[in-house]
Structure 1
């Protein structure tokens, strides 16, 4: 299993900071990238709808959602810090391939829904500020991909600084909006008391929860905390957990302020004046100037919307990469990954605008947030199980009290979603001209997802999770070696990568040398730490790879072969030639993934670069 966001994993040092403030500042950052997901354009749509239709009545939903978010994000950060696995990787190690494919599909739907909201939101902001059409605005958002590549190449700290600057723009914009709107403080306080006025309010409330507690943020946070390099002792891990909780508390409370400000702005401006149906961002923008008596109100509104859209598209794209790599263990070139993720967002956005017109963007934004909420259970429940697992967390599992609080949060979210799904399907069946079609399609699908949810809830109570190091080897992978008769090579190097290609490569080497030859197994650690520090790196990936390499050696030695091992660091096309050229080898045997042409473009190729760097024959075994 490769590192999560491998190109920036452990790229920020936190050790050696003399003052406590400097050490805290070294850890601050990941939660700000998370916080933009809590103030993205999808939130704006649900907050505007809630404020204009129900005044201040749903403020308590925002507060409750923020508390839920803080709890769940702290669990996500804990998973990443302690296990050095993101949520998608942990799921892949725990569930069967079939279940993982379904969870991956659901996670991709959530990413698509999230991206739809972000792309539409930024396009609307460009339209409001510069008069650019929505279609053109959506197409412009593809440039986010190149901005993300530029930022991540500059380092994680530069990206975090850029996101924090955008968050500051959003925050300052709404400070002035609140000054313009002059809300009634008494009614704001009353809105913090729980109440659900009617069924429509429930739909909006679920949308607010979906917009606030976002499933892709749980995947993202568990990965971003791994960008910090810190002491892996118990004391170091405890310190990392503490500083990340501080980071999350500050960032998510800022997000709560922005969400509350949008809802309060809608309540003080639209609900107060009897405009109960302002759910479209465009309508809100147009009405702000005449309602508040200043031209700056709509300008600041549009600027904040663009900042929210821009920042959240960046984090959404990163989440798409994490989910794809974690669930599928699919490693493709970073720029290809990001363009694919961006296109997944742009295509539905363009189709929505072309088919339904610009007038339904607000409804689509709210619908996208309800979709996010429906997917939450499939991310939250595995997360709670993982951070409660003593074998995974190695002494850092959450307390019983935290477990109870987490399960209460999960129960609230799943129960609200179950009611929403039940009511929607019931309404469809009652109004449909041919309900049998729904009974044969929608109802079985709903039951299927219910069964999956129950499976995820109860599986950890009846079966044990896979051991951590097993995830590095293919499922049910057992090396079997054939007897050979032609032996003419004496010193053979074999490149291995702990995949199914190893078996054919090793067998082919044995065909060349038999039991009389000397074999050297070469594996290259490709983490960011290995690239930067070479043989001086000491991270979890290196330790696991070294352990597996020694297991290979022991296995092969026990059946009579003379085996040595070499661990390289950095890029394989550089590290393997260095080891080979320094050794006295007759031949290098190397397995491949069997891809050419377009797949080489996607996955990259080591063989072509490596064969020009070595002075001995290269024997390529096609997998």
Structure 2
């Protein structure tokens, strides 16, 4: 147990990033509106997440570089290099700003479930002071720079949320035959493609590919530790996927009869386990999930910018801090606008799912370069699974863009 605890870190941070308010909200909406029909989409996204994050972890340990560093160094043509760097920077900055707004909005949902809203007029819109408060908390934690402590905090939060939702999923007495059908028989039923994309986006988060490679390169220095990293990663992602599915199962319970519009509605599925304390539990859970995700999104963006521009210094440098601060406060600003919280969170998930194919293609190309990976470049099986994942993400992304345009 002591050795296991010492090796916990990057994989749990990946899970903590996608078990955020977006996961709780999108999975709850899927369960309320479509029952168990879309569990297959979550299963698919968990498998895709393992395939892509394993490549990212392998790249970080073997090359001791982040994904953006590798892209900048391995593209030799100056024009293609500039275009690729601009594309990556644009994708991550836009995606993380949207995702950050969803994270902070989700945390605000948790606060306002048990506290009164705090808004003041600023020009043509109302400024949500709770969004500013959440942003300030995330800023303070990032400014401290004690990431080893954060790893342990995130681990505790993930374990707490996991046990709560998994136990609750059993207590609501679900129909297990329907669950198996939903897991293994793909069907969108009455659900739209954007809902499927949101479920994929809530698990396979593009910025996690950059964050994971950078974190494992700091934690593990020897290629012999690759198996440890894989075990930690697979365990963490499977647990995160199980939590996402448990939330869908909870939301599919008969107790959900009305449209989910707030954190207090999300608490209904927890009432069999926590009774009248359900609202408090989901409020604390959403707040914690929102803060942890609000930390990982700006941190990943800072690692991306660092790699793209070849900065030597990282966590403690002013430029690195300036990047995550900008992403954080852009998220605070977007969260403060008078938009429906659930729409902001769903938009963030769809935006990330649309960015995924672009980032996945870059990663796939890098881990197939023997000059970078040596004997640890992709095997035939890894290439086949990787191409399948990329093909699925391209298809879903193209179809969802077409749907939006229509």
Distance 1:252 1:326, change over 3 A: same
Distance 1:366 1:270, change over 3 A: farther
Q: For residues 286 and 173 of structure 1, what CA distance do their matches in structure 2 show? A: 12
Conserved? CA contact 1:196–1:202, under 8 Å: no
- 1:442-481 equivalences in 2 (<5 Å): none
* Cα drift, residue 57 of structure 1: 0.9
Conserved? CA contact 1:215–1:379, under 8 Å: yes
Partner residue, 2:282: 301
- Residue from 355, 364, 379 that aligns with 1:399: 379
Q: Alignment RMSD, CA only?
A: 2.3
Partner residue, 2:301: 320
* Cα drift, residue 421 of structure 1: 1.0
Q: For residues 163 and 202 of structure 2, what CA distance do their matches in structure 1 show? A: 21
Partner residue, 1:104: 89
Query: In the alignment, is residue 129 of structure 1 matched against residue 129 of structure 2?
Result: no
Q: For residues 181 and 375 of structure 1, what CA distance do their matches in structure 2 show? A: 36
Conserved? CA contact 1:170–1:305, under 8 Å: no
Query: In the alignment, is residue 385 of structure 1 matched against residue 365 of structure 2?
Result: yes
- Residue from 68, 87, 95 that aligns with 2:67: 87
Query: In the alignment, is residue 346 of structure 1 matched against residue 332 of structure 2?
Result: yes
Residue correspondences, number: 387
Q: Deviations over 1:73-119 (max 9, x none)?
A: 10000111111111111122224213311221111111112111111
Q: For residues 290 and 63 of structure 1, what CA distance do their matches in structure 2 show? A: 26
TM-score by length of 1: 0.59
* Cα drift, residue 321 of structure 1: 0.9
Partner residue, 1:207: 198
Conserved? CA contact 1:217–1:319, under 8 Å: yes
Q: For residues 271 and 135 of structure 2, what CA distance do their matches in structure 1 show? A: 34
Query: In the alignment, is residue 187 of structure 1 matched against residue 178 of structure 2?
Result: yes
Conserved? CA contact 1:184–1:268, under 8 Å: no
Conserved? CA contact 2:101–2:331, under 8 Å: yes
- Residue from 211, 218, 235 that aligns with 1:220: 211
Q: For residues 291 and 363 of structure 1, what CA distance do their matches in structure 2 show? A: 28
Q: Which has the higher contact order (CA 8 A, sep 6+)?
A: 2
Query: In the alignment, is residue 117 of structure 1 matched against residue 117 of structure 2?
Result: no
Q: Which has the larger radius of gyration?
A: 1
Q: For residues 160 and 213 of structure 2, what CA distance do their matches in structure 1 show? A: 26
Q: For residues 208 and 96 of structure 2, what CA distance do their matches in structure 1 show? A: 10
* Cα drift, residue 298 of structure 1: 2.3
Q: Deviations over 1:367-397 (max 9, x none)?
A: 2111100000111001011111111111210
* Cα drift, residue 317 of structure 1: 2.0
TM-score by length of 2: 0.89
Name the SS for the 1:192 alignment partner: helix
Q: Which has the higher mean CA deviation after the structures are superposed, 204-213 or 169-178? A: 169-178
Conserved? CA contact 1:42–1:117, under 8 Å: yes
Name the SS for the 1:212 alignment partner: coil
Query: In the alignment, is residue 372 of structure 1 matched against residue 366 of structure 2?
Result: no
Conserved? CA contact 2:263–2:279, under 8 Å: no
- Residue from 28, 34, 44 that aligns with 2:24: 44
* Cα drift, residue 350 of structure 1: 1.2
Distance 1:398 1:281, change over 3 A: farther
Conserved? CA contact 2:268–2:278, under 8 Å: no
Partner residue, 1:138: 131
Q: Which has the higher mean CA deviation after the structures are superposed, 403-412 or 123-132? A: 123-132
Distance 1:97 1:296, change over 3 A: same
Q: For residues 286 and 80 of structure 1, what CA distance do their matches in structure 2 show? A: 39
Conserved? CA contact 2:37–2:189, under 8 Å: no
Distance 1:286 1:209, change over 3 A: closer
- Residue from 356, 360, 363 that aligns with 2:343: 363
* Cα drift, residue 181 of structure 1: 2.4
Q: For residues 118 and 266 of structure 2, what CA distance do their matches in structure 1 show? A: 16
* Cα drift, residue 417 of structure 1: 0.9
Query: In the alignment, is residue 282 of structure 1 matched against residue 259 of structure 2?
Result: no
Distance 1:289 1:407, change over 3 A: closer
Q: For residues 393 and 300 of structure 2, what CA distance do their matches in structure 1 show? A: 22
Consecutive unaligned residues of structure 2, counting only runs of 5 or more, are 120-127
- Residue from 19, 37, 44 that aligns with 1:64: 44
Query: In the alignment, is residue 254 of structure 1 matched against residue 254 of structure 2?
Result: no
| Greater per-residue helix proportion | 2
Runs of 4+ in 1 over 6 A off after TM superposition: 289-293
Q: For residues 193 and 163 of structure 1, what CA distance do their matches in structure 2 show? A: 31
